[in-house]
Amino acid sequence: MVVKTELKNFIDVEEIQNHLENTKEPEPKKIEAIVQRSLDKNRLEPEEVATLLNASSYEAKELIFEGAKELKQRIYGNRIVLFAPLYIGNKCINDCVYCGFRSSNREVLRKTLSMNDLETEAKALVSRGHKRLILVYGEHPLYNADFIAATVRKVYSVKEGNGEIRRVNINAAPLEVDDYKKVKEAGIGTYQIFQETYHPETYKKMHPRGPKSDFLYRLYGLDRAMEAGIDDVGIGALFGLYDWKFEVMGLLYHTIHLEERFGVGPHTISFPRIEPAIGTPITEQPPYQVSDEDFKHLVAVIRLAVPYTGLILTAREPIEIRREVLKLGVSQIDAGSNIGVGAYSTEDKEAYRKSQFSLGDTRPLDVVIRELAEDGYVPSFCTACYRLGRTGEHFMEFAIPGFVKRFCQPNAILTFFEYLNDYASSETREAGLERIREEISSIDKPEIKETLLKYCERLENGERDLY
């Protein structure tokens, strides 16, 4: 039996509002000093983050954008990790007012993948070159821990051509500690739970029915995951439900809470904006719609606020915004995504009716990879840290001088090279090889260069999965 103890709400609404109230119209000098603290690898304090959020002059905002770019370049370099979402089932007993899967929505077609469907979907993704997936589930008794663990195992078992899925992350409802243990045993990477809004009153309105209406149970969802031994957890807020500045502060408070309790903050932070969803009127005009300008501002502030954390930008956003926001410190994006349940492997004309919302960037993986290469990034499918038992890889990149140059950059290049050999169109291959040549020639340590070239040769001779 599960005994529920009283949980303390660590989101102090009044304190957050005071921070935001007391830091209005900051001087550029003040911003400069805060950005410098972040570049010196410090996680920022609430008052500092409120100050950055309140920057309103062109000059002050430019300092923040430039700081975020500099931090990304200095600590993480130009790698972008790629993944795809795989929706397992859209049944749901909650009624989140912004979501196409909400229980009272009669327009959505409900579907849950069978194990055979799942295998076919995973094969379709592997055959396009994916190595990292996030499995996504509605909240429903069918999607319990045993089911989630079985779907994870199924995905890992799929082999297609030269490829396989090497890291499976999860976005699902919060669980109890023993249930998280079952899911962990199946070998998951990150467990993601978005709080949606950190503002309790708004939370109540947005989640009128079902288990998700319990704000605190969800707020402590990732505490339980960490108690169960899942080291990599992902937090997020759904932007558009409440004031964006408040939500960024909420993400920061959540980070600080995890740091204080477990000695380490979240592995990733996500910042989805509300997208239109079928049969879901609130999504046509979200109550606190975030403009593109404010969106860029908030991503740059999150980058500076928590320098050790991976930032995820999804294909909800349109192509041009993705391109711009990428520069501000994003480390992972999804590409070639399709969020209709079962839609990777079938030409389903009704796929949109099985989708949670609509996507802004529906380009195939190959096209996204080509654009990344042309823009000077190294697309990466690397999963080395996680498979070597090094969880919290962003933390290593951040904390250990030289880690990125010695491990991350060469591994990113190897997985990119693998992709180009096995899956790329001729145009993408050409752009990608050119990018790899540039990247290798910029490596200043001869021993790293030599090892990397040897590994590339082994890949060319047919070996795979080298790191």
Give 285's contacts (C-beta < 8 A, 6+ positions apart): none
Binding residues for ligand SAM, total number by CB under 6 A: 21
Strand-pairing partners, residue 87, are: 136
DSSP assignment of 201-227 equals: HHHHHH--SSGGG-HHHHHTHHHHHHH
Between 108 and 335, name the residue whose CB sits nearer to ligand SF4. Answer: 108
CB of 274 to ligand SAM, least distance (A): 5
| Tokens (6 digits) for 221 | 């969802």
What is the closest distance, in whole angstroms, from the C-beta atom of residue 90 to ligand SF4 in the complex?
7
* Interface positions with ligand SF4 (CB under 6 A): 92, 94, 96, 99, 101-102, 138-139, 212
Binding range to ligand SAM, per CB under 6 A, among 33-41, 132-140, 176-184, 290-298? 132-140
DSSP state of 51: H
274 binds, among ligand SF4, ligand SAM, none (CB under 5 to 8 A by kind): ligand SAM
Task: Kindly calculate the radius of gyration of the chain based on its CA atoms and give it in whole angstroms.
Answer: 21
Torsion of CA 36, 42, 48, 52, to 10 degrees: 60
Q: Which does 459 bind (CB under 5 to 8 A by kind): ligand SF4, ligand SAM, none?
A: none
272 binds, among ligand SF4, ligand SAM, none (CB under 5 to 8 A by kind): ligand SAM
What is the smallest separation between the CB atom of 171 and ligand SF4, expressed in angstroms? 9
d(CA 55, CA 388) in angstroms, rounded, equals: 42
Shortest distance in whole angstroms from residue 41 CB to ligand SAM: 29
CB of 77 to ligand SF4, least distance (A): 34
**Contact string (CB under 6 A) for ligand SAM, positions 240-279, x = contact:** --------------------------------x-xx-x--
* Binder of residue 102, out of ligand SAM, ligand SF4, none (CB less than 5 to 8 A by kind): ligand SF4
Retrieve residue 129's tokens: 């070159």
What distances in angstroms separate CA 263 from CA 208, 252, 266, 424, 442, one per listed residue? 34, 15, 10, 41, 36
List 38, 337, 356, 409, residue binding ligand SAM (CB under 6 A): 356
User: What is the closest distance, in whole angstroms, from the C-beta atom of residue 104 to ligand SF4 in the complex?
Assistant: 9
SS3 20: helix
Cα 335 from Cα 315, distance rounded (Å): 7
The site map against ligand SAM for 284-323 (x = CB under 6 A) is --------------------------------x-------
Of positions 193, 225, 269, 315, contacts ligand SAM by CB under 6 A: 193
- Burial per residue of 196-233, b for 16 or more beta-carbon CB atoms within 10 angstroms, e otherwise: bbbbeebbeebbeebebbbbbebbbbbbbbbebebbbb
Length of the chain: 467
Near ligand SAM in 164-183, by CB under 6 A: 171-173
Q: Toward ligand SF4, which CB reaches closer, 77 or 210?
A: 210
∠ Cα 331 335 339 (to 5°): 120
Compute the least distance from the CB of residue 109 to ligand SAM, in Å: 15
Q: Is 235 in the site for ligand SAM (CB under 6 A)?
A: no
Among candidate residues 76, 110, 3, 34, the one with its CA nearest the CA of residue 309: 76
316 binds, among ligand SF4, ligand SAM, none (CB under 5 to 8 A by kind): ligand SAM
For 400, other C-beta atoms within 10 Å of its C-beta total 11
In the complex, least distance from residue 136 CB atom to ligand SAM, rounded to whole angstroms:
5
Residue 317: how many other CB atoms lie within 10 Å: 23
Stretch 138-157: interaction string toward ligand SAM, x if CB under 6 A: xx------------------
Per-residue binding letters, 63-102, with ligand SAM (x by CB under 6 A): -----------------------------------xx---
SS3 category, 55: coil
20 interacts with, out of ligand SAM, ligand SF4, none, CB within 5 to 8 A per kind: none
Interstrand relation of 233-236 and 310-313 (parallel, antiparallel or unpaired): unpaired
Q: Minimal distance in Å, beta carbon 327 to ligand SF4?
A: 30
Contact 191, 183 (CB under 8 A): yes
Contacts with ligand SAM, residue ranges (CB under 6 A): 98-99, 136-139, 171-173, 193-194, 196, 238, 272, 274-275, 277, 283, 316, 356-357
